[in-house]
Structures are given as structure tokens and as C-alpha cells.
Amino acid sequence: MPREIVDITFSTSAGYLKSVDYLLDHIQDEDSSRNPNKYAFVLVAASALESILNNAVIYWAHHRFGRGDYKRMASAFLSMSLRGKLDSFVFLASDSEFISNNESATYQQLSELIRVRNEVAHAKDFPRECELEIEETEEGHLSFELPTKLRDALNDTPLSVAYEQCCGYRAALHHLHEILTEFEGNEGLAQSEFCKRAAQPINPPDAAR
């Protein structure tokens, strides 16, 4: 039989999603609400999101431009920020028929994931000045009460993300993966609450008038 050139893709997104599932089962180890495994969960979940979006862009470019130009065209969009990819990939994948619905629950979950991921990946721990009233106990130990401002700061960290919120991240990731791997044409996009039809462009006034 004659030889043929075929394209084979090894996708990393499925592996990332399995890691997300695994880590979700371990962010409540030892009953700690501030389990440090949440850092790993957030970073892997964000990596899964980027892998899914990158695959969507590459798939679009490969089928739109063919072998000659698809890598160059894909690279132009792959250089965007993670949020930029989240906002634009539906428009690309659907040939401008749909856009991402930023009011949908899936979009809101993924947008929140990006925000938390940025906090984890780009943490900057500047010292915080605070005034403490230190007292000595009867046993000779020193004690103090954290100021409200400092307590609020400690509670507003990625480690404080609730387990239910992490479950929401996982559900949104799996939904995104499903609509991009199982749809035929734009059918999957049309059925997902993550997508909405793009508004028709407004025709500019006739310059001859």
C-alpha cells in the first residue's frame, strides 16, 4: 500500500485533568482548610486550562490553514495571555459564529481560576507593618492579638479558597474539554452555556452618501 502523511497529536490536557482530579482529593488532607496542596491544585488546574485552550487554537489553525501556514498562524494567537485565549478561542474555533459568554458560570469559574493562579504563580510577599499590643501571660508566655487588617489579609489567600470553589474549577475545566473534543462543527458550542452567538457586525454608513 502507498505511504501517506498523517497528523497525530499527543494531547497533554487529559493528563492535566487527571492530575486535577487527583489533587482535588488531597486538598482536605488532615482536615486543614489551608492545606498547601491547594497551591499545587491551582497551578495544575491553570495548566490544564492553558493546555485545553492551546489545543483549541492549534486545531483551528491546522484545519483553517493547512500544513504550510498553520504553525505560524497558531503561534500568533498562542502568544496571547491566558485570559486573552479564554476570551478569543471560541470566536476562532467557530469561525466567528460564537463568542465566549462571560456571564456564564463556566466562564466565571475559569476567570476566577486565572486570578487565583496569578496570585500563586507571581506571589510577592512584601513585609506588612502592624502595631501589636503584646501581653505576658501568668505562665510567662508572650501573647498578642492580630489586628483585624492582618487577619483579613491572612484569610484572603489562595490557601483560603473553599473546597467547593475548587470543585467548580474542576467542573468548568471538564466542561470546556468536552465541548472542544466532542463537538462536530459548531454543535457542541451551540449547546454550551459557555458560548453565545456573536452579534452581527454593524455595517458602516455608505461613504458615497
Question: What percentage of the chain exceeds 90 in pLDDT?
Answer: 39
Ramachandran assignment for 191, one of left (phi > 0), alpha (psi -120 to 50 degrees), beta (any other): alpha
List all residues 6 or more positions away from 136 whose beta carbon is below 8 Å from its beta carbon: 142, 143
The 3-state DSSP class for residue 197 equals strand
Contact call for residues 68 and 40 (beta carbons, < 8 A): no
Q: Got the DSSP string for 63-128?
A: HHHHHHHHHHHHHHHHTS-HHHHHHHHHHHHTTTSEEE-TTSHHHHHHHHHHHHHHHHHT------
Identify the pLDDT of residue 20.
Answer: 96
Tens of pLDDT, residues 34-57: 788 999 999 999 999 999 999 988
Q: Quote the pLDDT of residue 131.
A: 74
Tens digits of residue pLDDT in 111-124: 999 999 999 988 87
pTM of the model: 0.80
What is the chain's mean pLDDT, rounded? 84
Query: Mean pLDDT highest for which of 5-9, 37-41, 95-99, 146-150?
Result: 37-41
